[in-house]
Amino acid sequence: MTAAAFVVGELGIYTCPGCKRLLRQEEEAFRCSTCCHAYPIRESIPDFLGEELSQSKDPELRRMRFIDRMARIYETRLWYPLILNVYGGFRSASLAQLIGRISQNVQSIKGRVIDIACGPGTYGRRIASPLKEVFGIDVSMGMLQQGAAYTAKEGILNMHFARARVEALPFEDGIFEVALCCGSLHLFTDTVVALREIARVMKPGAILSVFTFTAGRRGILKFRRMRERCRRIGLHAFELSELEQYLTASGFTDFQPEASGSILTFSARKKVPGDPV
């Protein structure tokens, strides 16, 4: 059985990002029977974006065009420790600690997990298990391919990768028990648009577990001028009150933040009918 056949045959979960209808599987693509659009499967990874980042008309996607090349160093000392120390502050939290916190937030939950902007599955593949089927999405094919290589090498069967953007997730409403969003919420063009789309695919009461940056007391993000400069290049260091507002506006409640320097991990819960407004 080829890797592509595994992805297509076993899951039957992907929907057309436009029509939100379940897609029909073909040999090398998923096809929408409503709008007839075909989404290719490249090296076993469904591609719902269908364009090169460097060629995109969308400036936000073009800005991400270098990310493919970072895939090989993303989980090495050349990336995470550097970013965490510079932005979060010296000795704020390590990648291992972040993975620990995120995993703990979702430890007792069984079912489907969506890993938003999953990179090479840095968080998702560490919680994937027969009890937690993880679906990672990212705009970077380089990151996704690296993730697929890691999962193959590590023998992880319960993590799946697809190329899609957070604003147009290729899934039906309300099917995930957990959403992870680690290292990317601060990069989305419109935080509320992204959070609303994440909430759409989550079940009522499902847990959102996030690592992002805040205007904390350590690292370069403690300086207002540096935060403004980061904002101009697309990195948004959140104030806690601002983030809580965004979450409420997107249908989440129960905001539980934990800051370490300027590094923020938090969990929140998708509202269920009857929750206080």
Q: Which residues bind to Zn ion, rule: CB under 5 A?
A: 16, 18-19, 32, 34-35
The distance of closest approach from Cβ of residue 59 to Zn ion in the complex, given in angstroms and rounded to an integer, is 25
Sheet holding 263-270, edge to edge: 159-163, 132-138, 111-116, 176-182, 202-213, 263-270, 252-260
**Which CB sits closer to Zn ion, 16 or 67?**
16
The distance of closest approach from Cβ of residue 24 to Zn ion in the complex, given in angstroms and rounded to an integer, is 11
CA angle 190, 102, 269 (to 5 degrees): 60
**Which CB sits closer to Zn ion, 21 or 91?**
21
CA angle 197, 162, 108 (to 5 degrees): 65
Give the whole-angstrom CA distance, residue 160 versus residue 211. 21
**Which CB sits closer to Zn ion, 16 or 268?**
16
Kindly tell me the sign of the dihedral angle through the C-alpha atoms of 147, 151, 154, 156: positive
Phi and psi dihedrals of 109, rounded to 5?
-95, 140
The distance of closest approach from Cβ of residue 235 to Zn ion in the complex, given in angstroms and rounded to an integer, is 33
**Which CB sits closer to Zn ion, 22 or 166?**
22
Identify which of 149, 150, 110, 144 has the alpha carbon closest to the alpha carbon of residue 127.
Answer: 110
The distance of closest approach from Cβ of residue 114 to Zn ion in the complex, given in angstroms and rounded to an integer, is 20
164 Cα distance to chain centroid: 10
Instruction: List 3's β-bridge partners, or say none.
Output: none
The distance of closest approach from Cβ of residue 36 to Zn ion in the complex, given in angstroms and rounded to an integer, is 7
**Which CB sits closer to Zn ion, 3 or 35?**
35
**Which CB sits closer to Zn ion, 18 or 174?**
18
The distance of closest approach from Cβ of residue 35 to Zn ion in the complex, given in angstroms and rounded to an integer, is 3
Q: How many CA atoms lie within 13 A of 22 on its CB side?
A: 7
